[in-house]
Amino acid sequence: MAEDNRDDDLNTGDLFKDPEGFYPEEPKPTYAEYRTLSGLDLRLRLVGSHPLYGYLLWNAGRTTSEHLERNADKLVAGKDVLEIGAAAGLPSIISAINGARTVVMTDYPDPDLVNNMRQNADAAAPFISQGSRLHVAGYKWGAETDEIRSFLPEPSAGFDLLIMADVIYSHREHQNLISTMQRTLKRSADAVALVFFTPYQPWLLPKTEKFFPLAEENGFTVTKIFQKVLDKVLFENDPGDETLRRTVFAYELRWAPDRLLH
C-alpha cells in the first residue's frame, strides 16, 4: 500500500512569504538639535515619517520656544501649561526647564506620536526644573479634556498657558481647536493661549486667518504680538511667496472680559 503523502503535497514552502524588499523599509527616526538661549543643547527625536508631520521640528515651535524662554518669568514660571499638537514637544520641554509647575504635552493619540513625545520628555528630564512636572498624553482636538485636566493640581481650574504652534493650518479643525481652548484655558485675565503659525501654503493664508474671528465669536480677544521672518523655509521645494513661507505670525488669545470668572 502506497504511503500517504498528502501533507507533502500541501507544503507550499515560501510561496506566501513576501519577497525581501517587497514592503518599503520603515523610515528611521531622525533628530533635530536646538540650543536654548541659556546655552543648553537639546536633541529632539522625530518620528521617521507620519501623515501628521511629526517628523519635523516646525518653525513656529522653535519661535514659540524662544518666546517662552525670553518671557519665562511672565508666561511660564509657576504656571500650568498645555501644549496642543506638540509633535516633538519642544515648547513643552522649554516650559518645564523654565519652571512651569505643570506641563502637559499632547498630540493626536497615535502610538508613534505619543511614544515619540514620551522619549523626548524622558531625554529632557535632567534639564527640567525641580518642582516641574512634565506629562505626556494623546489628545484629539475637540474631544473631552478630563484626562489632560487630571494632571493639574486643581483640575477644575484649567491651564494658565496654552501653546498652539503650527496647528491652525488645519482649517477644518478650527472649531475643534476653539472647543479645546474653551474647555482648558483658565477663566482668568492672566491666562493666555499662544497661537503661532507659518503660512506654508501662502495662498491659503486668508483661510487660515479665519481662525481668529471665529475665536472672537466664541469668547476670546485676539492680539497680534509680532511677526518674524526666519532665515530659511521649512519646505524648500514648495511653491508660493518665499518670504511668507519663512514668516512666523504670533498671536495671544485671552478670554473676553465678559467671559471671565469674577
Nearest to 69 by CA among 49, 98, 34: 98
Name the average pLDDT for the chain: 89
2 band by pLDDT with thresholds 50, 70 and 90: very low
Class of the domain covering 58-259: alpha beta
**In the predicted model, what is the mean pLDDT of residues 13-39?**
70
Percent of the chain scoring above 90 in pLDDT: 79
Please check whether residue 69 is in contact with residue 149, taking contact to mean a CB–CB distance below 8 angstroms: no
pLDDT of residue 237: 82
pLDDT at 213 over 90: yes
Q: What is the pLDDT of residue 28?
A: 77
- Asked if the model's pLDDT at residue 50 lies above 60, the reply is no
The least confident of 38-52, 109-123, 139-153, 181-195 is 38-52
- 136-155 average pLDDT score: 97
Three-class HEC string of the chain? CCCCCHHHHCCCCCCCCCCCCCCCCCCCCEEEEEECCCCCEEEEEECCCCCCCCCCCCHHHHHHHHHHHHCHHHHCCCCEEEECCCCCCHHHHHHHHCCCCEEEEEECCCHHHHHHHHHHHHHHHHHCCCCCEEEEEECCCCCCCHHHHCCCCCCCCCECEEEEECCCCCHHHHHHHHHHHHHHECCCCCCEEEEEECCCCHHHHHHHCCHHHHHHHCCEEEEEEEEEECCCCCCCCCCCCHHHHCEEEEEEEEECHHHCCC
What does the domain layout of the chain look like in residue ranges?
Answer: 58-259
76 φ, ψ to 5°? -115, -50
Q: Is the pLDDT of residue 1 over 60?
A: no
The region of weakest confidence among 14-23, 58-67, 81-90 is: 14-23
C-alpha span between 214 and 212 (Å, rounded): 5
Residue 55: its pLDDT value, please? 55
Instruction: Name the nearest CA neighbour of 60 among 37, 83, 81, 42.
Output: 83
Give the pLDDT score at 219.
98
Q: How far apart are CA 230 and CA 244, in angstroms?
A: 10
Rounded to an integer, the average pLDDT of 105-127 is 95
Distance CA 228, CA 35 (A): 19
Q: What is the pLDDT of residue 56?
A: 65
Position 39 confidence tier, pLDDT thresholds 50, 70, 90: very high
Please state whether beta strands 80-83 and 161-165 pair in parallel, antiparallel, or not at all (unpaired): parallel
How does pLDDT run across 183-208, given as a tens digit for each residue? 999 999 999 999 999 999 999 999 99
Comparing 176 with 29, which gets the higher pLDDT? 176
Mean pLDDT over 218-247 rounds to 93
- Average pLDDT of the segment spanning 128-141: 96
Query: How far, in Å, are 114, 120, 257 from residue 88 at the CA level?
Result: 9, 7, 34
